[in-house]
Structure 1
Amino acid sequence: MTILINSPHEDQSIKSITSLKEYLQKNQKFNPNDPVFLIITTEKPLIKKNDYIPRIIPLPHKLSSTGSKSILLITKDPSTVFRSELSKNPKTQELIKEIYSLKKLKSISRNSKRLKNIFNEFDLILADHRINHFLPDILGTMFYVKHKKVPFTVQLAKPSIIKSIKSKSKLNQINKHKNHDSKVIKLEKCDSNYVLKQLKSIVKNSFFIPNENGNCLSVKIGYLSFTDKKLIENIDATLEYLCTSKFKPVGGLINGLKNIKSLNIKTSESIALPIINTAN
């Protein structure tokens, strides 16, 4: 399914992209490394309550490489098992610059200068999905206002449980330490390859964070160095993901073009130009 490509909107989209680049070149503001944003204004907010969780939008033409990012990972306590496993994999050891436990992060956050250093030092922050809900209060407005540097949630291992343990003595031993009465036991472990897979998806694709009090989304869809065709295909993939119900519950929140008030493209140095005239 496509929304722009081979539709009446495709010509308007190409004209807007061409005009955007011409405007920047004319005003000597054209930088091929500058990102291009798709600005989507919807009829109503997409969620009822903020959760501050970035949703990944898969793009056909990728945005970045993992090697270009300085990455911090925040884990539940203790971080020892996660640090040990991730250090055994040369790729995750190289990519993840620092690993903080939640306890360590709380300690750092008491000093505003140290917290600002984290903000400035790391391009990307990953958070264990089990502790992500604590982070807005710890990191505060510096990271969360206008979604400046909101942590991306990751699972440190694929969900894995023991559904049946035949040895009753072994079950009792595990339950004694884990405080479980059930025979379904969650395992505490870390899968470095699984973490790496999620990390690549975060870095290479785009994302959005819906807001309970607003109806405007800004989504990076490429760079000025991208050809018009690549930008169009990334815009099309973004709209398909946000408007199509098959991508629910993460995507599909807009539920069709009919729920979009306006659709524009811009850079940080340009005016916004319309992609689709929703009045038609």
Structure 2
Amino acid sequence: MVVSRRDRIKEDVVRKAVNALLKWKKKKQKKLYSQSDHEFAQEEVEEEDDGDDFIYLSVTLKKVPTQELTRTPHQILLRHSLLSQDYSSLNCCLIVDGKKITSEAAHKIIKAKGIRFIKQVLKVSKLKSDYKSFDSKKKLYDSFDVFFAVKSVVPLLPKVLGKVFYNKKKKIPVPVELRADGSNWKDEIEKACKSSLLCLSGGTCSALKVGRWALTETEEIVENVFEAIDGVLEIVPKKWGGIRCFHLKFSDSLALPIYEYQQTLQPDDNKVGKVGDGGSGLVGMKRKRAELVEGSGRKK
């Protein structure tokens, strides 16, 4: 029987972590904007935050994921979108292969389906020819709120778009599985707008967005956290057995633990026994760290 995420992770622990992060962010913003020179303060905000106002669910695995899992980003559906609720205000770009779906055909489908927030369609060949330089890629990056890409071209994009898009993974194209006849475009793209991307790295640590400062409320973020955990468990081999810990954080804040895998010791000896149920919150982690410190103190 699969153990429920709410048996492993207490909702109250998640809520406290979210509130602590939002309080920290509010205090930081207030401090920056309280400078006498507002223009200087604004520059400092942009320099320190780099425009990143997302709360991340940090995922630490027990083992490095296989290359198959790291090849493409994984789309995880959230309860609440991290984008503006009014999608019509978004400025989005769709990347197509140019063969099965041409840019001309895409424009016709977008118009017919009323997907008004997609303002431009680009073929991969166009990206290769017109966006070679760092400056041109940066200009493209800054021109749109969100990028979508048909699933077949996603593996090609890291090389084509480069580190401008993939270095911090803040605006990498969201994969969408679009049919050439356009029958599922509206549903798939709106689903992508309510999703977050998990890009498993070549190491054991990865992260995905679950909330956004000044856009999502505390309870919405809490619900997104549990939806994201469900999505992660569907991707990670062995589900809970493959997870070492979960944390919540802003990109520039401390990471607050909400779950850590724990091992139990057999009562008759000091050998590691069966896997424990895991735990959540700071108390269990502090106790474990204290035990590790005491144990290391006995060594000579």
Q: TM-score, normalised by structure 1?
A: 0.72
Q: Partner amino acid for 1:229?
A: E
Candidates 177, 187, 193, aligned match of 1:155 = 177
Higher relative contact order (CA 8 A, sep 6+): 1
Q: CA deviation digits over 1:228-277, x for unaligned, max 9?
A: 4332222111112222xxxxxxx331533343222111123422111124
Candidates 73, 76, 93, aligned match of 2:94 = 73
**Would the aligned equivalents of 1:43 and 1:260 in 2 still touch at CA under 8 Å?**
yes
Candidates 151, 161, 181, aligned match of 1:190 = 181
CA distance in 2, matches of 1:267, 1:201: 24
**Would the aligned equivalents of 1:43 and 1:261 in 2 still touch at CA under 8 Å?**
yes
Q: CA deviation digits over 1:69-95, x for unaligned, max 9?
A: 321122223525423532542622x22
Deviation at 1:10, TM superposition (A): 2.9
CA distance in 2, matches of 1:40, 1:48: 17
Inter-CA distance 276–133: structure 2 relative to 1 (3 Å threshold): closer
Candidates 208, 221, 229, aligned match of 2:198 = 208
CA distance in 1, matches of 2:229, 2:13: 15
SS of equivalent residue, structure 1 residue 98: strand
Alignment root-mean-square deviation, CA: 3.0
SS of equivalent residue, structure 2 residue 190: helix
Give the length in aligned residue pairs.
Answer: 238
Does residue 124 of structure 1 match 2:107?
no
Deviation at 1:51, TM superposition (A): 5.4
Does residue 263 of structure 1 match 2:284?
no
Deviation at 1:195, TM superposition (A): 1.7
**Would the aligned equivalents of 1:41 and 1:261 in 2 still touch at CA under 8 Å?**
yes
Alignment of 1:264-279 (within 5 A): 264-279=247-262
Does residue 240 of structure 1 match 2:230?
yes
Inter-CA distance 67–2: structure 2 relative to 1 (3 Å threshold): farther
SS of equivalent residue, structure 2 residue 207: strand
Candidates 57, 66, 70, aligned match of 2:76 = 57
Structure (1/2) with the larger helix percentage: 2
CA distance in 1, matches of 2:133, 2:64: 35
CA distance in 2, matches of 1:56, 1:69: 20
Gap runs ≥5 in structure 2: 34-51, 263-278, 280-300
**Which residue is equivalent to 2:12?**
11
**Would the aligned equivalents of 2:57 and 2:210 in 1 still touch at CA under 8 Å?**
yes
SS of equivalent residue, structure 2 residue 55: strand
Q: Partner amino acid for 2:12?
A: D
